[in-house]
Amino acid sequence: MSQKKLDEPGLKNVSEFPIGTAVNINRLINDDALMSLQILNFNSITATSDMKMQSILPAENQFNWKKSDTILYYAKKHNQRVFGHNLIWHSSTPKWVEEKGNKDSLWLGEFMKDYIHKYVGRYKGKVAGWDVVNEAFESKGGAYRKTFWYNNLGKEYIANAFRYAHEADPDAVLFYNDFNIERDTLKLQAVLNMVKDFKKEGVPIHGIGFQMHIRMDTPDEVIAYSLKKAAETGLQIHLSEVDIIFNSHNDERLGGIENYSSITDEMKLAQEEKYKNLVLMYRRIVPKEQQFGITVWDFTDRDSWIKGFFNMKDWPTIYDEDLKPKPAYNGFLEGLKEKTKKK
């Protein structure tokens, strides 16, 4: 069951909504096997890190468009949607911005406006949507994260970022993106409250991104509840960074807890079921007109960020270390193909 027949269609060909992957563009275009799988399965592409601020503007007044332009070129050549990840995120803010911004918050406010206008404006009509602000809430609970941006500009930086992005490209779909909101109901409610306030104030927010870095023991019932509550906003829903791990972590770098050091056939089959259920929940719960798509965060265990970031073994994706489809691939595929009725 773990082997995919060569004549079977890729994931994108059986899906009613875009199927995306986040990848490192240089790795992708220099690996023919990886590229052929990406082209077969996906019709949406997100940069893992190449479109974050530290890559785009590593030094003052030194914009580096090389990798983002390469992504745009690749996407156009292979008829794929480009999703922009991301505009404002504390963890990808260059040190030179922090040093200058901590001294002068007025400069920082103008910098953010100019940066977003220039960046989003450059790709107006070419990047379909953006994660405008990423991870503005604490890992757990409903408090705003006291980031560099929050400390210098207050929580208003979030709304302003959306305003600036909309000014630069009125047709782009603008998302707030975060993790744990599929399982932490306090955090989810805080995001929903922010969305409600934005809609009341006329802030142009169009979507909620569920990163969906989930664990095998994340209850499907909780995920279903969270998707239902988010869909009730009427906004686009993007499963934006999907992978499913067996081990656990504390959400911090090198914070892995390795309960499993090897994977069994039983574990592979359980992961297959989890992927299938996740896709089915998205299809059943999120109204068709709100389905922005599902994006996996890397699609091979060889390339996954999980091992390096959390310093632990794991097998989170739909292809294995040798770029062979896992049962998880079949689960994803079956989740897309199975006939389903909306609840």
Residue closest to 135 by CA, chosen among 240, 12, 255: 240
Q: Which two tokens stand for residue 125?
A: 């009509």
Going 249 to 253 to 258 to 264, the CA torsion angle's sign is positive
**Catalytic positions, written as ranges:** 135, 241
